Every structure is written in C-alpha cells, then in structure tokens.
Structure 1
C-alpha cells in the first residue's frame, strides 16, 4: 500500500520537526516536503502535489489563507488541513471559504491529528470540536435577518436531506447520522453525495457553512 504524502507549511522549525517525527512514525504516511511560508508551499506543491498539506495560518510572505486559495484555484489535488494555535482566529473562517478541507488546533492530541489527516485525504472534512463555538460566532453575523424566510438554496432539498444536513452541521459522522436518523450508513453516504451536488459544496465543511448561512441551524 502506498503511503500518504504529507507536506508541512509552517514558519516554525520546531513545529515542523514535531509533525515530521509524528507522521513519519506511521506506516501509512510520510512527510515529502516542507516550506516556511505559503509561497514556498505553493511552489513546491505545484511541481509535486502531496495528498495533504498541513497549513499554518500566520506565515511571512504569503499566509495560509492565500496559499489555500491559490492551491484550490490551481486545481491541485492536494487537500488543505489548516492548523492554528487559537480556537479560531480571524483567518480560519476565510481559509475554509478559500477551500480548506478543515482545521485543527496545534495542541490537538497526536492520535486526533493523525486521524484528521487520514480523513481529509479520504475526502472527508474535519473541524476541531473546540473551535466550533468561534466558527459559529463568525457565521451568526451572516445569517438571514428574517429567521422565517427560507433560503432558496434549501428549496432543492428533500426533507430527509435537510435532516442529514442538520446532523452534518452538528459535526456528526456518517455512522452517527445513521444511528440518529435510523438509516443504513450507505444511505447516509448517498444523501451526503446528493447534498454536495445540489448545494454545489466542495466538501462537508462547505455543507456546514451553508447550513448556518441559510439559517437551517442556529
């Protein structure tokens, strides 16, 4: 089995060293490159894309938000997992909007970070639970002023799809959604795929943002 290729973008050498030691100790992944800023990461990944890049937010020359945006706009196959020291600073929401597949805190448990890397590489999206509150604070200001008005984006969804979207917004996994809504996990995956298509969302993070922006979840 080929190993997942992981790229590190962080301006602190000690942080990169710690992540490299953790990742290279795993049988299914390895660090294939490093950069001290977004410009270096973009240049390296353009020449040889990795499966996942661990992207710091605050870096010199080009920050993680701009680097994420350019990676997505360039159509590179590399998934972006944003890392931040804070629960949610002002740049993380922008990074998610730019196309990041999720974000984790730098003080996350090693097992949680490794699990997040694997999930992102597998096409899932990851949002650190402890950062959810501040993410919602960012979204609340963008919610419709009239809570009784249905956003037109939701009109294309069936009642069941709305129920699944609500659970996704709560951070539930497919297996948890299956248990809560009494359906097979395969059926949940089908609903998730339809939601991504109907709402033109890149991944589950996009679905979460839409759920809050449309007022489906408050």
Structure 2
C-alpha cells in the first residue's frame, strides 16, 4: 500500500557532491516511506533549509566545504529539536562518530554501505531509535565501556536507588525515545516522564543523555541497534 504524501517522512539531503545527492534522490523516490524535501551542499545552506522546511530527517555528510557537518548538527538540534539527523561519511573514525552523537545525531552510516542499510537506518531513527552502521558499532560500545570507571562497571548501587518506574524510563531514554514517546508507551503524561527523568538523572549523578547511554551500556540493560554483516 502506497503512503500518502502527507504521511511520508520528509528528508533533507546534505552533501557537497551533486552526483551523490542525485543517487540518493533516485533511491528515496522508490521508497514509499520517504520523500526528499530538499538538498544542500554546505552547512550554511542546510541550516537555512532546516529552518524553512522543518524536515523530519536530515542525512548529513561530515566533510562539507564551509564547516564540519558536526557543527551543522548542533545548529539543527538547537533550532529544530524534533528533526533527527543521521550522519553519512566516507570515514568511520570513532572520534567523528562520538562527536556526532554528542552534537545530537541519532545515526551514523558509512558511504560504502548498501542501499538497504541506508533505508533501514532512516526507518529506525524515524521510529525513535538510534542506528549505527556495523562498521562503527563495535567501536562505539568499546568507547562507552572504556569511559565508565571500574566501580560503575561492576556495581549497580546507583541503579538500585531507582524505583521500578524510573528504571523502566531510564532504559527507554537510553534507547533514544523522547518523553512524548515514552509517555505514550507507558500511558502516562509527558510531564510525569520529565519528572521521573529529572529524578533518575539526579540519583545516578549523570549530566546528559550520552552519560546515561554509557552507563546503561556498561550495565548491559540496553540494546544498541546496528546493521548486520
């Protein structure tokens, strides 16, 4: 069944190679779930178009002529928090990946991935999850574990301070769900979710979502999605 135009996820393509963008447009036109809202070749153009178009998704290259795509992610998340950004790059350097996540990206794929992986990544993040190419996923997990000190890794004392509801919300937040999505899933109000989030972050002595993801990964209570070999 074909999706109505209004139901399709609107995507902004950001890459400085016209031929690459054209290939992406051909691929996405054949998929009933997505529609290309626009395209840009620089961070400046991307930021302008995001403010104007308010797309659901942005597929963003890292190496752009004027600025790093990572800087573009920060601007997009500041101006249009609901827009989800997936990074696409020739490089799988873990530093690029981590900086992208910290800037607000919810996915990272490399340019030599298959079309199926690209479409799976876009579908996954549009459903409120993170998605990382298998070529970077192992490095992400290793990085997160390396950042957690031995006490946190072997002890769940802070986790035990949480109520069952707070533990449930922590897991969903770490999986990338928004407060609204969590509220719908648990049949509670978004305000109640926010209250629980504030309390659990305080009990865990964590400052950001990335810290929460690292903590949850160290305890083995979340699944980080990745593509299959």
TM-score, with length taken from structure 2: 0.69
**Correspondence 1:71 to 2:73:** no
2:71 is equivalent to residue 57 of structure 1: no
Provide the residue aligned with 1:216 in structure 2: 219
Rounded to whole Å, the distance in 1 between the matches of 2:94 and 2:19 is: 22
| 8 Å CA contact retained: 1:101, 1:205 | no
| Higher helix residue share | 2
Distance 2:70 2:47 in 1: 12
CA contact (8 A) 2:37 2:55 kept: yes
| Contact 1:165–1:207 (8 Å) recurs in 2 | no
Residues 125 and 205, structure 1, Cα contact 8 Å, conserved in 2? no
Q: Indicate conservation of the 8 Å contact 2:43/2:67, yes or no.
A: yes
Q: Is the 8 A contact 1:46 1:76 kept in 2?
A: no
The CA deviation string for residues 47-85 of structure 1, in whole angstroms up to 9 with x for no partner, is 111110001112122211111111112244311011122
Q: Is the 8 A contact 1:5 1:50 kept in 2?
A: yes
Aligned partner of 1:123 in structure 2 is 128
TM-score by length of 1: 0.72
- Displacement of 1:207 in angstroms is 5.5
**Structure 1 unaligned residues grouped into runs of 5+:** 170-188
Q: Specify the alignment match of 1:106 in structure 2.
A: 111
Indicate conservation of the 8 Å contact 1:127/1:205, yes or no: no
Q: Which residue of 2 aligns with 1:41?
A: 46
Asked if structure 2 preserves the Cα contact closer than 8 Å seen for 1:6 and 1:29, the reply is yes
Using the TM superposition, give the Cα deviation of residue 165 of structure 1 relative to its aligned residue in structure 2, in angstroms. Answer: 4.3
Equivalents in 1 of 2:215, 2:53: separation in Å?
32
CA RMSD of aligned residues (A): 3.6
SS in structure 2 of the partner of residue 53 of structure 1: strand
The answer on whether the counterparts of 2:12 and 2:37 sit within 8 Å (CA) in structure 1 is: yes
